[in-house]
Structure 1
Amino acid sequence: MKPVASSIRRLCVAFLACIAVVGVQAANASPAASRAAVPAPQGTLVIIGGGLRADNAEVWQRIVKLSGGKGARIAVFGAASINPEKSAQGVIAKLTQYGADAFFVPIGVKLAGSDYRQAAENPTIVADIRSASGIYFAGGDQSRITQALVREDGNRTAALEAVWAVYRGGGVIAGSSAGAAIMSTTMFYDAKPVLDMLKLGVTDGREIAPGLGFIGGDVFVDQHLLVRGRFARMIPVMLKKGYQIGLGIDENSAMVVSANRDVEIIGYSGALLIDLSRAITDRGVKGFNISNAAISYLDRGDKFNLVSRTFYPSPDKADNKLDPNQPDMREPVFTNDILGNNAVLDLMGNLIDNAQQEAIGIAFGNPRDPYPDLGFEFRFSKTVNSVGYSSTEAEAYSVLKLRLDIRPIQLQQPLYRYK
């Protein structure tokens, strides 16, 4: 019997040794490796372009409904603000108005009387976050969010892990403005004006920095899009970081991204979808340039699946696909300020229902800008893949797959008046 007992003891020791080795390996594994096996999140994103009005019931109610309906606990982060608690309380009042049980998360670089690093590891605060079914990130400076929730070594704080736990478990993560910027793996950090981004380029750690990546590593997100002409600054970032798909959402509007990666546009306006999968640049041309990018406008009520790349028009457009042989307009389409308020949307709508096959927009700065004589031409063209839908209820279009080419142009300086 002794040999048998001895064998059993040896097996037990070996088994325990294996467990110890596995434990050490798990402890030493990189955070990226340890997260690689985690199941895909089952929750929903509500990405708001900023400027969300209190009376935009469609967006507020959707956040509450997705979080569980009346009484849903929603954790509100004001970390992006210079006054986190005041910012959060404004959001809490609106969520409460629409039926939620919202509460303030006391984590913020600018939160008076608090050490944000300790707060982000505080078990009580972490437990409160985990108890929520929805998370809301208010606007401000997105770098303050990542500073508060990401450790100096790049790992997630306990608070950020709690946010991810809510999302993985089927909860909602909503964010407006800065709260939208953090949704992709890359976010704008200390961004220059849009035109200067094209003139001077993009630098990691300066204009851009790592975001929190809730939408995944394959989609770039931007906000305040149509009002501020920011579609043009998305493209150089996407090229630099290797994104093929970019989504930019306008103010007082939201993109609802489900677990199966359906994107639905709700609210006041819409979003631009930029596809660089077939785009090319000419290194022989001095200055930023791109050819064969595809740009689409998704209007409120429209849906788009990020996996299948399938578009579904809103109900008021479903039976009103435009006939390219019967255009409503024939006039040339041109704007001398393509980066102006809603200029790109107006141009795309006027082109898709037009006998003209292309439209031109240009962008120049003022004489005090860097390289004042350098500007850019934005050429939008219809192709065999371009499609438009018109609403039967309002003067609104959905525009799919216009070709976009951008090239540098020069304006003679100084300018002279006619006498």
Structure 2
Amino acid sequence: MLKRLCCAVALALAGAAVTGAAAAEAPKGSLVIIGGGLQADNAAVWQKIVALAGGKGARIAVLATAAGNPEREGQLTVTNLNRQGAQAFVVPIAPRLPGRDVRKDADDPALARALADAGGVFFTGGDQARITAALRHPDGSNTAVLDALWKLYRRGGVIAGTSAGAAIMSSTMFYDPPAEVLPVLKNGVVDGKDVAPGLGFIGDDVFVDQHLLVRGRFARMLPAMLAKHYVLGLGIDENTAAVIGPGRDVTMIGYRGAIVLELAQATSDKTQPGFNLANARISYLDSGDRFNLATRTFYPGPGKERINEAVPEHRPPIFYTDILGNTTVVNLLEKLVDSDQQRAVGVAFDAPGSPMAERGFEFTFTRMPDSGEFATNREDAFSIYRIRMDVRPVRVRQPFYTVEQAAQ
């Protein structure tokens, strides 16, 4: 009981530290939030980080705090940044670094000064819990290094992070959730286990998640956002970055894009068993698109025009049996806006024999008057804005299917 109480106090103090730090002064710097899987040849993202840090010769600190092998991960990141003209260096703050005391290092004045004087910082992937545990004291207060990071950001530097380094950007982050999405929908989130305080660089109003489309994680964001009272979520796909400037404009660059979730008008019926959500909005931002976090305004990327709804391409009803599959939700949305259908449906359920296999969820996507659809002339790049999304629990019959016997 005492352990739980201490954990709750630490979480509350950490949350207050995030709020206080973020509110103290509007940052002049930028964020580059990468959804994980950043490839060495993704020049657009690496170049952007270097440019925002000051251009050729920029000093960029690399924090491999989250990594299982920080020496290797730190050096790989330094190499990729230096290939674009930076003068990157590793800051030795990581619990997996042999012969180091991570708590002492995080309060080392020399390391803090090196970070504060840099043009930018890059957080590698790994386990985001290692980052927050290293950069905050057990009572939730900031270490000297975390204060230095805020100083860098406020004066105009860039903070970049991939995977775990992306998760820590919001004031609440996924901490140690189940590996799969469905258990989060079925069971909700628990403070200190599934979610915990992040570092809050993006502010208190946006929830961030990563590896989004590849792993179907848009769905796990929903119960977390409801539980922590977020009305705006930004989920970024792999090898893709959301670049956020001081005016709070988000610009997508890289391989794919991001999902934006808006819950300002959404409702959930607490009297009903199981997770449910009505009247949410889901959008897909492609590379080149912009979205302003303050005004909630979308700006399609270069060369995109509104889709001509008079020439629909997909007439049959749209139904997907695994809405949590790799990029499935974007594929469904693309078919919906290209069709004469008003709505599309996707379902999610576990394999037979799984715990609570009979419990699943139905996702309904509906075109609304405020929906927008844009594409290039070749239709190889598209943007989909503000499709209504409703989620309700469903019961899956077991067995889900039977083998049909051939006629004798």
TM-score (norm 1): 0.90
Determine if contact 1:316/1:393 at 8 Å carries over to the other structure. Answer: no
The aligned residue for residue 44 of structure 2 is: 58
The aligned residue for residue 237 of structure 2 is: 250
Q: Does 1:331 align with 2:350?
A: no
Q: 1:76 to 1:233 in 2, by over 3 A?
A: same
Structure 2: distance between partners of 1:211 and 1:37: 15
2:183 to 176, 196, 220: 196
The AA in structure 2 aligned to 1:281 is S
Determine if contact 1:181/1:211 at 8 Å carries over to the other structure. Answer: yes
Structure 2: distance between partners of 1:179 and 1:400: 27
- Aligned-residue offset at 1:331: 2.5
- Structure 1 residues 212-251: Cα deviation after superposition (integer angstroms, max 9, x where no partner): 0000000000000000000000000000000000000000
Structure 2: distance between partners of 1:46 and 1:77: 15
Which consecutive unaligned segments of at least 5 residues does structure 2 have?
A: 1-15
Q: 1:204 to 1:33 in 2, by over 3 A?
A: closer
- Structure 1 residues 289-324: Cα deviation after superposition (integer angstroms, max 9, x where no partner): 00100000011000011111111110120xx11133
Q: 1:282 to 1:32 in 2, by over 3 A?
A: closer
Q: Does 1:43 align with 2:29?
A: yes
The AA in structure 1 aligned to 2:345 is I
User: What are the within-5 Å matches in structure 2 for residues 297-376 of structure 1?
Assistant: 297-317=284-304, 320-376=305-361
Structure 1: distance between partners of 2:20 and 2:355: 45
Q: 1:60 to 1:391 in 2, by over 3 A?
A: same
The aligned residue for residue 368 of structure 2 is: 383
The AA in structure 2 aligned to 1:207 is D
Q: 1:81 to 1:31 in 2, by over 3 A?
A: closer
Determine if contact 1:66/1:172 at 8 Å carries over to the other structure. Answer: yes
The aligned residue for residue 129 of structure 2 is: 143
1:86 to 55, 72, 75: 72
1:181 to 149, 163, 167: 167
- Structure 1 residues 372-415: Cα deviation after superposition (integer angstroms, max 9, x where no partner): 10010000000111110011245221001100000111111234
Structure 1: distance between partners of 2:281 and 2:272: 21
The aligned residue for residue 68 of structure 1 is: 54
Question: Match of 1:118, SS?
Answer: helix
- Structure 1 residues 81-127: Cα deviation after superposition (integer angstroms, max 9, x where no partner): 11212111110010011110000010011111000000011111111
Structure 1: distance between partners of 2:238 and 2:154: 27
1:271 to 254, 258, 270: 258
- Structure 1 residues 246-286: Cα deviation after superposition (integer angstroms, max 9, x where no partner): 00000000000110100000001000000000001122321
Q: Does 1:221 align with 2:215?
A: no
1:111 to 94, 97, 111: 97
Question: Match of 1:226, SS?
Answer: coil
1:401 to 379, 382, 386: 386
The aligned residue for residue 11 of structure 2 is: none
Question: Match of 2:214, SS?
Answer: helix
- RMSD, matched Cα: 1.4
Larger radius of gyration: 1
The alignment of Structure 1 onto Structure 2 pairs a total of residues equal to: 388
The aligned residue for residue 5 of structure 2 is: none
1:156 to 142, 149, 155: 142
Which consecutive unaligned segments of at least 5 residues does structure 1 have?
A: 1-29
The AA in structure 2 aligned to 1:373 is E
Q: 1:36 to 1:387 in 2, by over 3 A?
A: closer
The aligned residue for residue 21 of structure 1 is: none
Q: Taking every aligned residue pair, what percent have the same amino acid on both sides?
A: 53
The aligned residue for residue 207 of structure 1 is: 194
Determine if contact 2:18/2:200 at 8 Å carries over to the other structure. Answer: no
Q: 1:262 to 1:155 in 2, by over 3 A?
A: same
TM-score (norm 2): 0.93
- Structure 1 residues 336-371: Cα deviation after superposition (integer angstroms, max 9, x where no partner): 000000000100011012100000101011124321
Determine if contact 1:109/1:147 at 8 Å carries over to the other structure. Answer: no
- Structure 1 residues 170-205: Cα deviation after superposition (integer angstroms, max 9, x where no partner): 000000000000000000111112001011111001
